[in-house]
Structure 1
Amino acid sequence: MVKPTYSPRRRTGARANAPSSQRTLHLGGESNPGRIQPSTKAAPIDTMPITSDPALEPLHRATLRVIGKSPGTGLVLPQCHIASCAHVVGRGTPPGTELRVQPWGRQPVEVRLIAIDDNADLALLGPPVDAPCPVELQQLMPLPLDGQIQRGDRFAAIGFPKNTNTQTIQCEEIQAEYEFYTHRQNQPSLLKLKLGQFRPGFSGGGLLNLRTGRICGLVKETRDEYQNLGGRAIPIEDLIAFCRHAGLPLSHAEPPPAVASEQAQALAAFLQQLPKWQDLASRRLFVQWALLNHPHAGDYQPMGQNPAADAQALALATLGPGATDAGLDAARQLLQRVLEEPVGKATKAEAKRLLKLLDA
C-alpha cells in the first residue's frame, strides 16, 4: 500500500453563502454503478454538458465518472492518469484490479488501479498494463494543481450523485466556500468547506478554486447529505505526495509572482532581523500573535525551514495585495507584541517606526 507523506495543516477562514446548481446529463446506461450499458453512439468529446457558469467548462473537461464500489468521480491527471478516492474504488481493492471510468459523452473505458491508500482515502488509476492510453482519455484536459488558498476563496466541484433513473446519469455542480483546515487525531488534515450540498457521488472529483482557476483539492465527503452544510476535501499537497510515491511526478503549478507593498516589504525585513525569528518555534508564536485574533487577515502558508520565506509569507498575508483591515490590525498586533518582548532599543525603535508607517 502506498503511504504518502504529508504535514498536517491548520487554517482558519471566512464563511459566506454560495449557490449550487444541478442538471441531468444523458450519458446512457443504468443506475447500478457496477453495470453501465453505454449508449450505442458516443458523442464527440467536445460536446460538453451545458454549464451555468462558463468558468466551470475546464473543470468539466477534467472530470469523469468512476464506476467503482460507490458512486464517485475522478479527476483527470497528466500522462493518462486519474485520481479518485479509495472509498469510491473500494477500500482494500488490490492494485492491478481493472475498473471502468466514463468520460463526458463517451462509452466506459477500462483502466486499472495503480495505487491505493485507505488511510489517506486516495486512489490512482491508469491504463491497463502494456496498453496505450485510450483515445477517450487522451482528449481530456488536466487542470493545473495549486494548493494556494486565501480566506474567502470560493470553490466549485462536479459530481455524479446516485440516480434511480435508469435512463440518465445525474450530474451536479456545487459551489462552496473555504472555511478552514481541520485536523483529527491520527488522521490527515482536510479542507473544510462551508455551504454547498456535497452529496454522495462527488467524492474523488477535483475541487476548483474559482479565484485561481486551479485544482486545490479532491472532494472527500459531505458534512450532511440532506442540507447545504458543505463538505471536506483532501488537500492537493496530499494528492501530489501520494502520486509521487506511486511513480507519477506531479507538482504544483508555478504561482504568480506576489507584488509586496512598501509596508509588507518593510515588515518582512523587520521580522528577518529579529533574533527569535530564526527559531521555528518562536516564529510560530509570532504568527499566532498576528493571526489568532484576526483569522480573516489573509492567507498564510505552513511554516517551513526558511526564515526569510516565512517572513515574506506573513508580511504578504497581512499587508500584501488585497489585504483587508483585519490584515492591518494583525500587523499592528504583531508589532505591539514585539515591543513587549525583551528586545534592544534599535529593534523597538524600528517597531515604532513601522507602526507609524501602518497608521499613515
Structure 2
Amino acid sequence: MDSSLVEQIVVKLRKECVLVAGRSIGCGFAVSPGWILTCAHVLNPDIKINDSVEVRLWDGVLRTSILRHLERDLDLALLEDFKVKSVNAVFGNRPRRDALVLGIGFPVRDHRPEFDEFTARVEGFTTIKYAKKEVDLELIKLKQGRIECGFSGGPLINMGTGEIVGVTRFSNDTQTDLGGWAITPESVSFFCFKVGVELNKKEGFTNDFEGGFFKPQTVERVRDLLLNLPGWGIKESRISFIEIALGRRHRILNEIELDGRPRQVAWSVARACEDYPELTESGLVPFCALLNTIPREFGCRPDRDREINELRILLHCVFPEN
C-alpha cells in the first residue's frame, strides 16, 4: 500500500485511541461501535465487571466507560463506550518476520503521559506455557523499538498494509530499543468472538477460531459426544440437557428440530452451535457451554473427559474452576 495512504490510516486511528487510567497509564482503541479494547493489566487489579473506567480522548476530553469483559490469561479487556459510533480499525493477519510496525500509546515522561508512537520490527513469535492450563499463549516478539510504559493496550499497525496486526502488551526494556511483545490478532479475534463483539477484518483474515477450530471433524466429534450421552435417545432428556447447558431462551432451541432421530438431533445441535454462536446465559459460546455442562450433569468418565478436554482446547474454551 502507498505510504501516504498508510499514514492517513494512522492519523484516523490516532483519533480513536484513548488514554486508560488504572493501575498504570495505558492505551485503548475503538474496535467496534460502542467498544474499546485495552490490556487487562492496565486496569486496577481489583476491578470488577461493570465497574467504571475513566478514559481520555486524544483531544483531552474525559469520559467514563464500563468494563464489560475481561480475560486475564489473554491480557485483554473490553470497555463499553456508547460514544464510539464509528470505527476505522481493520484487523489483518499476523505480520511477517521483519515487518515494520507502528504502535500508538501514551508513554509517561516526566511524570505525565504524552500521546506518542513507536516503530519496531517483528522478530518472531514467543509461546508462553501456563503450568496449570492446557493451552499455550503465543505473542508477537518485537525488536528495534523503544516500548515505554503507556503503550500497553494500544494498536499495533502494519506499516506496509495499514492493518492492525496486534495489541502492544509489554516491553523488554522501557529505557532502550530492545522491543517487547504484542498480542496476536487471532487472540483478539477469539476474545471478541466469545463475547459477541464483531471486528472489522480484512478479507481473507485467517482466524483459527472461526476457520480452523470449527473444522467438520471437530463438529462431528461434538455430535458423537452428544449422541453417546446417557438419555440422549429420549426426547425429554436431551431437551432438558440442552436447556440446562444453553438456557431456555437461546436461539438454538428455536432454530432446530429436537424431536427427530437422536443422531440427526445431535448433528443439528452441533451445527447450530457454529451457526448461532450467541453467548449463553453462562456467558460462554454454545460449544463451550455444552462441553462444560456434560461433566456436571453426567459425572466423570475418563474416556469421555479426555474427549471433552481435547475439544475444549480445539475450541479455546475456558476450563471451569475445580
TM-score of the two chains, using structure 2 as the length reference? 0.57
Amino acid at match of 2:100: R
Q: Give, in whole Å, the separation in 1 of the partners of 2:214 and 2:201.
A: 17
1:157 aligns with 2:111: no
Q: Secondary structure at the match of 2:93?
A: coil
Give the share of equivalent positions with the same residue, in percent: 28
Amino acid at match of 1:84: T
Counterpart pick for 2:40 among 86, 103, 117:
86
| Runs (5+) with no aligned partner, structure 2 | 1-6, 131-135, 206-211, 217-322
Q: Check whether the contact 2:168–2:183 (CA below 8 A) recurs between aligned residues.
A: yes
Which residue number corresponds to residue 65 of structure 1?
19
Q: Secondary structure at the match of 2:70?
A: strand
User: How large is the Cα RMSD of the aligned pairs?
Assistant: 2.5
Amino acid at match of 2:128: R
Amino acid at match of 1:178: V
Q: How does 1:16-35 map to 2 (within 5 A)?
A: none
Q: Secondary structure at the match of 1:184?
A: strand
Q: Give, in whole Å, the separation in 1 of the partners of 2:9 and 2:203.
A: 20
Q: Secondary structure at the match of 2:88?
A: coil
1:178 aligns with 2:122: yes
Q: Give, in whole Å, the separation in 2 of the partners of 1:252 and 1:54.
A: 18
Matched length: 200
Q: How does 1:36-55 map to 2 (within 5 A)?
A: none
Q: How does 1:178-197 map to 2 (within 5 A)?
A: 178-186=122-130, 187-197=136-146
Q: Secondary structure at the match of 1:250?
A: coil
Q: Which structure has the larger Rg?
A: 1
TM-score of the two chains, using structure 1 as the length reference? 0.51
Which residue number corresponds to residue 214 of structure 1?
163
Deviation for aligned residue 1:152: 2.6
Q: Give, in whole Å, the separation in 1 of the partners of 2:9 and 2:68.
A: 31
Larger RCO: 1 or 2 (CA < 8 Å, sep 6+): 1
Give a deviation string over 1:319-360, Cα, whole Å, max 9, x none.
xxxxxxxxxxxxxxxxxxxxxxxxxxxxxxxxxxxxxxxxxx
Q: Give, in whole Å, the separation in 2 of the partners of 1:303 and 1:114.
A: 25
Deviation for aligned residue 1:107: 1.4
Which residue number corresponds to residue 74 of structure 1?
28
| Runs (5+) with no aligned partner, structure 1 | 1-52, 128-132, 257-301, 307-360
Deviation for aligned residue 1:101: 1.0
Amino acid at match of 1:234: I
Deviation for aligned residue 1:61: 2.3
CA 1:244/1:192 → structure 2, altered by over 3 Å: closer, same or farther? same
